[in-house]
């Protein structure tokens, strides 16, 4: 099974693929998030795995936008504990390091460590890609922040492990594809919708869920392009679109919206987050 992800081999998304599927999946690295959706839609990959939110830095809004724009749907989720490592070329010692390359979120999650050690943060498009870059360029006065798996993939040295400011650092990933799983007893549904721009419409829409005892577990708003100060909302709630109570709720929900898109119904993550 081919699973596309954003980043280089050794990225946290690659690690999440191994955690979720074990050896049953062949990771297919892609440079950017839209490339992951392209790979699934064009048949280059059977599925995609995309980061959707982090417990410290919040939502990855580009993922929400792409779920709304594209034809694929969310059909599963997994959660990964993020453990950041300071990674260097073999032979480099801590005193040699002046700069640290990584994705902006990883740099932000390690800000206290970087400030404490007087290290200059330098943004890059990917965590594992930063490791690959300093290896290929033979950089001996800089490090990268990435996973231990990235160090192993590229034959690099881990100077220090668990340099993140907060240990309770988790990222939730969505499995995306062109199928819709059948209902289980622990499902989640994701929707995108727009309500009419008048008082009470958002509350009335959400009451369609609350009135039936359906648990709303996430709500996010994004600017509605072309309509300043209006918004598209993204929600996650417990339940599957094919069950009677959710179907009835959505029937009422639609009466309060000018646009609605079902982004997927899928089994909720019920295990323990991976700890590398």
Q: With contact defined as beta carbons under 8 Å apart, do 9 and 29 qualify? A: yes
Q: 133's torsion region: left (phi>0), alpha (psi -120 to 50) or beta?
A: alpha
Q: Which CATH superfamily is domain 85-161 in?
A: Periplasmic binding protein-like II (3.40.190.10)
Question: Taking CA 116 as the corner, what is the angle to CA 114 and CA 121, rounded to the nearest 5 degrees?
Answer: 20
Report the relative pairing of strands 47-54 and 85-88 from DSSP bridges.
unpaired
Report the relative pairing of strands 120-124 and 99-103 from DSSP bridges.
parallel
* Domain ranges for the chain: 2-81+169-177, 85-161, 188-267
Query: 3-state class of 55 per DSSP?
Result: coil
Just give the CATH number of 188-267: 3.30.70.260
Q: What is the pLDDT of residue 273?
A: 61
Q: What is the pLDDT of residue 225?
A: 83
Q: What is the pLDDT of residue 120?
A: 98
Q: With contact defined as beta carbons under 8 Å apart, do 154 and 135 qualify? A: yes
User: Containing H/E element for 56?
Assistant: none
Please, how many CA atoms are within 13 Å of residue 41, restricted to the half-sphere of its CB? 13
Q: Which fold has domain 2-81+169-177?
A: D-Maltodextrin-Binding Protein; domain 2 (3.40.190)
Tell me whether domains 2-81+169-177 and 85-161 share a fold.
Answer: yes
Residues of the chain with pLDDT under 70: 271-276
Q: What is the pLDDT of residue 274?
A: 53
List the end-to-end C-alpha distance of the chain, in Å, as a whole number. Answer: 23
Record the pTM.
0.90
CA–CA separation, 174 vs 50, rounded Å?
Answer: 5
Catalytic residues: 171, 173
Q: What is the pLDDT of residue 276?
A: 47
């Amino acid at each position: 099974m081919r699973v596309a992800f954003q980043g280089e081999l050794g990225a946290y998304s690659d690690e999440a693929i191994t955690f979720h599927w074990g050896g049953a999946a062949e990771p297919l690295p892609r440079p950017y998030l839209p490339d992951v959706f392209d790979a699934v839609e064009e048949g280059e990959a059977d599925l995609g795995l995309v980061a959707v939110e982090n417990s410290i830095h919040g939502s990855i809004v580009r993922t929400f936008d792409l779920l709304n724009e594209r034809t694929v749907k969310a059909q599963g989720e997994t959660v990964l504990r993020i453990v950041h490592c300071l990674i260097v070329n073999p032979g480099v010692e801590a005193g040699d390091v002046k700069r640290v390359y990584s994705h902006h979120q990883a740099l932000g999650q390690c800000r206290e460590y970087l400030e404490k050690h007087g290290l200059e943060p330098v943004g890059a498009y990917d965590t594992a890609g930063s490791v690959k870059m300093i290896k290929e360029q033979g950089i001996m006065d800089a490090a990268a922040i990435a996973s231990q798996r990235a160090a192993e993939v590229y034959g690099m040295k881990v100077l220090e492990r668990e340099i993140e400011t907060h240990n309770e650092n988790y990222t939730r990933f969505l499995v995306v594809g062109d199928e819709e799983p059948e209902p289980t007893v622990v499902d989640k549904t994701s929707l995108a919708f727009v309500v009419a721009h008048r008082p009470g419409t958002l509350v009335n829409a959400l009451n369609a869920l609350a009135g039936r005892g359906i648990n709303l577990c996430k709500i996010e708003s994004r600017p509605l392009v072309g309509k300043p100060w209006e918004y598209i909302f993204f929600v996650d709630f417990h339940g599957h679109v094919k069950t009677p109570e959710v179907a009835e709720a959505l029937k009422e929900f639609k009466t309060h919206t000018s646009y609605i898109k079902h982004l997927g119904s899928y089994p909720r993550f019920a295990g323990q987050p991976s700890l590398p």
